[in-house]
Structure 1
Amino acid sequence: MKIAIDAMGGDFAPLEIVKGVELARDRYQEIEFQLYGTADQVKPLVKDWTRINLVPTTEVIEMGEEPVKAMRRKKDSSMVRAANAVKAGEADALFSAGNTGALLSSAIFLVGRIKGVDRPALATALPSFEGPHDQFVFMDLGANAENKPVHLYQYGILGSFYASHVLNIENARVRLLNNGAEEDKGDEVHKVAHQLMKNSHAFNFVGNIEARELLAGTADVVVADGFSGNAALKATEGTALMMLKQIKAAIMASGLSGKIGGALLKPAFKTIQKKLDYNEAGGAVILGVNAPVVKTHGSAKANAVANTMGQIKIMIENNLVGDTQTFVAEHADDLKAAKQALQNEENA
């Protein structure tokens, strides 16, 4: 399998990208890596060219650039060239730590949407601290600031496939992020989405979920509109990091006995910290396009890059995109049926 890599994207590119690729090359014998980037910056960093190829490019899409304009104007950028390689079938997947908006644009306009999917979404796996599974799928994380009910319905399908094909969760429990557990909560979009999902046979919908329950293990897939999903993700990450920081500060200020107790608890804190660390989890996936497209954190270091390569490997091996394409095509009538059931209910 071949992965096209934007070697110039990210806060620490190309150094950490190249180091991560070499780590992944040594871990995964089945993968060939295509590095797209500025030759005089990338070439000196590669220590061993085994299963690594450099494709020279002359442009870089910077973090602060307007996504669509950058994608269209910088056709010889590392990201656009890598995306076009996937589009042309020269690579099986696309990876970047660069400009999220530009990567979304490249995924949608170059790699292309799956037929029947109206809006691809950005998804990630977050930790579950209770329940039967260690992780759950959370989407949309901001690919679409506004959504229609049908988009949220389709996210249920996409998230369920990711849960089964990558996280090995069968019959995933799907819940809709809302401001209350009752089905009549929320604005009109969420009320209608709830009814569409409730009447669907395409996935296992088990109702609404509030943001405070996200990490409690009561769902395997949590569906959100892009605005709410992005806000909830950042609030969750920020709260977790601040709590760990405050616990450490309290221990250090509690005298000798507190420091001794903290030292004894250090392994437990390390376990929690590791579970919350995005470097361990891999990247966010753009679901609903015709190939695996994965974005890791802009500040990701080599280990995060390597872990994301392993995540992409699982997606390719388990035919995530192909099975999703088939399912969406075969169940196009399910959405029509759900809409009709909703209409009948309103008429009654």
Structure 2
Amino acid sequence: MDAISYQRAADIGTALQAASQPGTMFIGGGTNLLDLMKGGVMRPMKLVDITHIAALDGISTLPDSGLRIGALVRNSDAANHTWVRERYPLLSQALLAGASAQLRNMATVGGNLMQRTRCSYFYDPGFPQCNKRTPGSGCAALDGHNRMHAILGASRQCIATNPSDMNVALAALDAVVRVTGPNGERAIPFAEFHRLPGERPDLDTTLQPGELITSVDLPPPLFAGHSKYLKVRDRASYAFALVSVAAALQMDGNTIRQARIALGGVAHKPWRANAAEQALAGKPLDPATLQAAAALAVQGAQPQRDNAFKVTLAQRAIVRAVQQAGGVA
């Protein structure tokens, strides 16, 4: 690791002032950033420790009956909080599906939002071709081992996927990310927070330089009674998703009034299946309806040599997750 400077911020103002210096990054739990630094993938000149900013650590209710989760809330604390378990079980399930218990005890909600891809070519500087690590160098995954890579929304510049389970649930729940920075505070709808790779895969999010995530806001709980996070992976513990599905329903008997579906493991960002949601609205919860909607979710998929199985797997996972959310499987 290179020599770096370190500063512990006592409040948001101090953190923002410190972040105005070039080469500065915020650090919370450090479960992703420190690994990348040790591997030489990320080389910040200065770290600003935000873990002692009390204003970022807490869960509170909002006036509209929604929930605000501070950026420093640990993943394990968020997953096991009574309000999250009861009002947003989809988020609790997704958090508990991620990483290991030890990592969940350290990782923060804000850090999880910023988690970098787990593409092996990105993680290994021994492979010089990685547009996410070194813009303009190429994408080794295109002709390399790409079983874990994207089938939707990718570009010739990058086919990596977002690794977070939490992000998939937040996408389905229409969360809002609140940030503050040199130009003040702003609220970013979750669908606009993460980017598709396009020509700039090195930019994962729409955060501006010097901005700090302060919280994640959840809208009023509409899907507490019918939701399911389904993660399909190579082994039952500590593995990233081949495909994951966050499914949330409002039911009227056997009829789906509203549906929210997001996919993980298939794109550079959590992939919201809007066409599938629309196809399910007002329809019965039967296999033919679900299969037709699932097919819409993967329209336009462009699999790579090693991951064409994800197209079928994603459809089957959607059907299964929606059935389980609806209580019929």
TM-score (normalised: structure 2): 0.26
TM-score (normalised: structure 1): 0.25
Which protein has greater RCO, CA pairs closer than 8 Å, 6+ apart?
A: 1
Choose 1 or 2 for highest CA Rg. 1
Question: Higher strand share goes to which structure?
Answer: 2
Question: Higher helix share goes to which structure?
Answer: 1
